[in-house]
Structure 1
Amino acid sequence: MNAVAAAAPASSSRRRLDDPWLLSAPALALFACLLLVPLALTVVLSFQVFDHKTGVQAALTLSHYGAIATDDYYLGIFWRTFWISALVTLICVVIGAPEAYVLSRMRAPWRSILLLVVLAPLLVSVVVRAFGWSMLLGPQGIVNNAFRWLGLPAMRILYTEAAVVIALVHIMLPFMIIPVWTSLQKLDPGVEDAALSLRASPFTIVRRIIFPQVLPGILSGSLIVFGLSASAFAIPGLLGGRRLKMVATLVYDEYLHELNWPLGAALALTLLAANLIVMLSYNRVVERSYKKAMG
């Protein structure tokens, strides 16, 4: 009896030590300190009154969110941010999915070489890449010099939406290729050969075999690309210039130039909420389409 009684507390203490909540408590505490606490402080700041003479006041107001929802200036910037992000995502899908398929069918050492080429942009700072694109797309850059050599008039590309889209596609493309390539790794090439032996058309193979396998990778890659593009700062700031603003550059201006921290916090939280709504809605629509395709 004494041995059984001694074993019971030991087993209960062992279960307490194996409790998932206790094991994850340090990570949860770190997560709360680094993300949840700053986010909560930002929420409180976004409701505070701002006066250009005295700064941030202790009083609370909804005027910042009201201005964002009613002012055409802010609405135009949000619209520009999201349509550029959607266009970048679409271009990355069109380019990245076929490239990932080619990558999945290559053999060593060419697969490793192409994978290194795909990941190479991630090894260089975003600021360095932005300056590189500014040199390529500038009035005296390689692109315009090529136009002049061909007898075509020079084009104004730098400080336009086209420059921002081109640079964002270059930066975000690896985030589309890698998830799609990972999804294709689960697909046995013999399934395609079997479909061909049964006289299935290439379109049928893509629709019935490849597309259902690629869709989860496209979904995850699209969410990553859209979210990162909508919150991008360096590329719009350096290639878009002072006039072509996106939400991230506007938040920067409100914080550091206008010193209107509450409005900057409200803009940042509105961008976060809009991003979540768009991404969750997109996720739901694609998941329904995926279930119908698999059904």
Structure 2
Amino acid sequence: MDSTLRTSEPTASTDAKPARRAAWHAYLPMWMMSAPALLLFAVLVIVPLAMTLALTLYRFDPNSGPVAAFDFHNYAEVLGSSYFHTIFARTFGIAALVTLLCVVIGTPEAYILSRMGDPWRSMFLLVILAPLLVSVVVRAFGWSMLLNVNGIVNQLLGVFGFGPYKLLYTTFAIVIALVHVMLPFMVIPVWTALQRIDPQTENAALSLMASPFTTMRRIVLPQLVPEILSGSLMVFGLSASAFAIPGLLGGRRLKVAATTVYDQFLSSMNWPLGATIAVLLLIANLVVMLTYYRVLERRYARSMG
């Protein structure tokens, strides 16, 4: 019996080696095929982030520029200054408001779009996607012309005896332009999810004497929560890091984090401080988005049982 065990154990290990070798040879081509993409990702994303992170540990000398200090002086300056606290609060406040407006406007818009027939659906889909076909700078200049003191908006308000109001270089201008730019990122995921929902489920609820509002709340919306979540995460992240629209419509006084980074790099030439603000913006953005994702994911899982 002992001799049988001795002969069977090497046989099992011998049989396992070719299986592992075959699995490795099957797995290796996948790594080889993804190696160019991984290399490109490392060169374009990881290396610049690592260099930016290293730059935050430098000190700024007005005479010689960045000097290697390897301390956390820049982080203490940003985290301990009420000026930067105001900038970050304004940045994430605008991003949260834009996200809320995109959810409130984009979800019903996607629902109406999904119920349209051709050719109206194609026409309105083109209207929704039109902002993505135009440069952000062009759109920002368009909104500046509309919201100017002598712009069309103030002229229309003047017809009814209101205004003129200072709409340009305000938080309102930044929010309204960002909603216009970010709305497709909310509409498209929700509309795609609505295309997969069987309309017979709504008809079944209506046949059981459920009101249209109850049908929307109990049948349709629970199935749209993942897509609303993904769309709102995209809108929030892009709004918090937006540069062109806050820079052109917010002016020099109404600063957000992205425009502050630009000023530190190109105006003050304080690269270490600009890199620190950029890194803290990235970290804060990730923390807010991951927390938001986890909280809503748990609530959605709890509601779905």
> Scaled by the length of structure 1, what TM-score is found?
0.94
Matched, 1:90 2:90: no
Counterpart residue number, 2:260: 250
Alignment partner of 1:37 out of 38, 47, 51? 47
Alpha-carbon shift at residue 202 of structure 1 (Å): 2.3
Give, in whole Å, the separation in 2 of the partners of 1:129 and 1:80. Answer: 22
Matched, 1:165 2:175: yes
What is the correspondence of 1:124-135 to structure 2 with a 5 Å cutoff? Answer: 124-135=134-145
Alpha-carbon shift at residue 205 of structure 1 (Å): 1.2
2:57–2:70: 8 Å Cα contact kept in structure 1? yes
Counterpart residue number, 2:113: 103
Give, in whole Å, the separation in 1 of the partners of 2:113 and 2:265. Answer: 43
Query: Which deviations, in whole Å up to 9, do the C-alpha atoms of 1:107-142 show, x marking residues without a partner?
Result: 111111111000001100000000000000001000
Give, in whole Å, the separation in 2 of the partners of 1:73 and 1:244. Answer: 12
Alpha-carbon shift at residue 13 of structure 1 (Å): 7.3
Give, in whole Å, the separation in 2 of the partners of 1:62 and 1:94. Answer: 42
Number of residue pairs matched by the alignment: 287
2:57–2:68: 8 Å Cα contact kept in structure 1? no
Alpha-carbon shift at residue 289 of structure 1 (Å): 1.2
Root-mean-square deviation (CA), in Å?
A: 1.6
Q: Does 235-244 or 24-33 show the bigger shift?
A: 24-33
1:49–1:262: 8 Å Cα contact kept in structure 2? yes
The percent identity for this pair of structures is: 61
Alignment partner of 2:124 out of 90, 114, 133? 114
Give, in whole Å, the separation in 1 of the partners of 2:128 and 2:40. Answer: 33
Give, in whole Å, the separation in 1 of the partners of 2:68 and 2:75. Answer: 17
Matched, 1:52 2:59: no
Give, in whole Å, the separation in 1 of the partners of 2:118 and 2:21. Answer: 53
Q: Secondary structure at the match of 2:263?
A: helix
Alpha-carbon shift at residue 204 of structure 1 (Å): 2.5
Counterpart residue number, 2:232: 222
What is the correspondence of 1:1-295 to structure 2 with a 5 Å cutoff? Answer: 16=25, 18-19=27-28, 20-295=30-305
Give, in whole Å, the separation in 2 of the partners of 1:34 and 1:17. Answer: 29
2:190–2:227: 8 Å Cα contact kept in structure 1? yes
**What runs of 5+ residues in structure 2 fail to find an aligned partner?**
1-16
Give, in whole Å, the separation in 1 of the partners of 2:82 and 2:156. Answer: 39
Amino acid at match of 1:16: H
Q: Secondary structure at the match of 2:275?
A: helix
**What runs of 5+ residues in structure 1 fail to find an aligned partner?**
1-7
Q: Secondary structure at the match of 1:36?
A: helix
1:164–1:235: 8 Å Cα contact kept in structure 2? yes
Q: Secondary structure at the match of 1:56?
A: strand
Alpha-carbon shift at residue 50 of structure 1 (Å): 1.0
